[in-house]
A and B are shown apart, each in its own frame.
Chain A
């Protein structure tokens, strides 16, 4: 079991006003993980991982990061992270955007695009007219 934290990063921030770009999807679908944890999972950096919480699962691309404590992963805030974040707030108004237990499994599946995720939730992709 891993602990998922989400948060801002500068690259996420740079793309946040242009969310339908590929660059945004790249950034927001990155799973930062300690290199030793990657080794334990028998994975290489850049391979895809399915991250599953009690609320859903999503495919992300791994990126190794020694600054993280072992046993934790970090995903920039955005639609990918939110695909597995619980909508409950403990009646405080604020969801658990941090400190969420998740399971990680290697996958060969492609990452979805941000529009794929929105369509899974009942939305409709917007392509420039």
Chain B
């Protein structure tokens, strides 16, 4: 089954649309009467999107959703997704792939904040940049993302992989301030540079192939180590906490 949703122009283009119903299972089970919200107004899906559905699906994994047009203010696409595929041709709004447990989301453009928040499984691939809190957690919750993969081909904003507790986050560009802050488990890889990586980490592993600026002063330098042909400095930390994480860095600079 192929579902094509094209965003129509709106009179108030900046007001966010909340569309947590847009995920493969909804269409697999029959999306008649599906609504989305513009602020406090509940609207039929068709008021916001031109909808085309072709073919049938025998399982949720056979559903592919294609999102076209300006979707940069559409929030919560793929929330609780548990199979199938979503392809977003442009940019996507906040909370894309929240709590998702299976399936795949591909974003050709940029993703706004909280991409893959508290994700459990599946894969998200963002070809542009990701906003703040990419692969991060919910306010007050000790454990953030717990499984699956988030891959960002561009840059990520601040607090990427905050409270990471499982799964893999890969940022091919730079990651902003406090990437991997309070992480507990899982793997974070940053190909570019970043700031204050893995502050207060208590577990998990992080690789930074570029430079860490304003390196946190409470990591213990364990020595040089070669990983995949690249030479890293290996740190254990954060000793301000209980020092159970591992941080591999190519270059680093303290704020002294």
Contacts and interface: CB of A to CB of B under 8 A. Distances in A.
A3 to B, nearest CB: 13
B104 interface: no
Contacts of A91: 113-114, 131-133, 157-159
Interface in B145-174: 157-159
Contacts of B159: 90-91
A95 to B, nearest CB: 13
Contacts of B177: 90
Interface string A91-106: 1000000000000000
Interface residues on B, range: 10 to 19
B166 to A, nearest CB: 22
Interface in A76-110: 90-91
A90 B132 CA distance: 6
Contacts of B113: 91
B56 to A, nearest CB: 40
A109 B113 CA distance: 41
Interface string A47-85: 000000000000000000000000000000000000000
B158 to A, nearest CB: 5
Nearest to A89: B132
Interface string B126-137: 000001110000
A71 B66 CA distance: 51
A50 B1 CA distance: 60
Contacts of B131: 91
A71 to B, nearest CB: 14
Interface string A3-44: 000000000000000000000000000000000000000000
Contacts of B132: 90-91
Interface in B110-146: 113-114, 131-133
A94 B158 CA distance: 13
When A and B form their complex, which 8 residue pairs have the shortest distance between CB atoms, in order from nearest?
Answer: A91-B132, A90-B158, A91-B113, A90-B132, A91-B133, A91-B131, A90-B157, A91-B157
Interface of A: 90-91
